Amino acid sequence: MSRVLQASKAEAAAGRMSESDRLLAGLARQVPGHPAVLNELGVRMMNRGAAEQAHALFVRATAADPRHPALWANLASSLKALGRRAEELDAIEKALELEPRHRRTASRRRRSATCSATPNRWWTAILPRSMPRSRRPSLKCAPLTGTPRNGASSDASKC
């Protein structure tokens, strides 16, 4: 299964989407509920602007493997595209809960970021670098208390 999935990704990277889609569709027929396949199908739907279909696939993927933080991050990106902010935040929290080392990184990034200079990029700790910026969750600044170690402003009134 993983070889076919990797071959599908390689075909997509080479710009041969029809062959990539053919491989992925065949794999989806063989293992219809596999979280990696559902996730890849969801990513394809997001890249094609079909957020509703992607969301349904990511929901199935997280149900099949609720312990995988990247699946929750992808679910959050689909919720962002659908304008469902509260659910997006819940999905991000779930991803961070599953990967505590990312929570520490995210917390440091959140504290060190100012609203105007690097707006709300703390969530990048859990997201793959390959995720298109337009699909990344958009979190608003929350009031922060105390002074960050690096001296950056934590004034949320700039948001």
Q: Can you tell me the distance from the alpha carbon of 107 to that of 99, in angstroms, rounded to the nearest whole number?
A: 13
Checking 139-144 for CB contacts under 8 A at 24+ apart, the result is: 139/89, 139/92, 141/115, 144/110, 144/111
Per-residue tokens: 41: 């199908």
Please tell me what DSSP assigns to residue 93: H
**Residues 24, 37: contact at Cβ < 8 Å?**
yes
Per-residue tokens: 135: 């699909």
Q: Can you tell me the distance from the alpha carbon of 51 to that of 94, in angstroms, rounded to the nearest whole number?
A: 20
pLDDT of residue 99: 85
- pLDDT per residue of the chain (159 residues) written in tens, 0 to 9: 889 999 999 999 999 999 999 999 999 999 999 999 999 999 999 999 999 999 999 999 999 999 999 999 999 999 999 999 999 999 999 999 998 776 665 655 555 443 434 444 445 555 555 555 555 555 444 444 444 444 444 444 443
Per-residue tokens: 138: 């958009």
Q: Which domains does the chain have, with CATH numbers?
A: 33-158 (1.25.40.10)
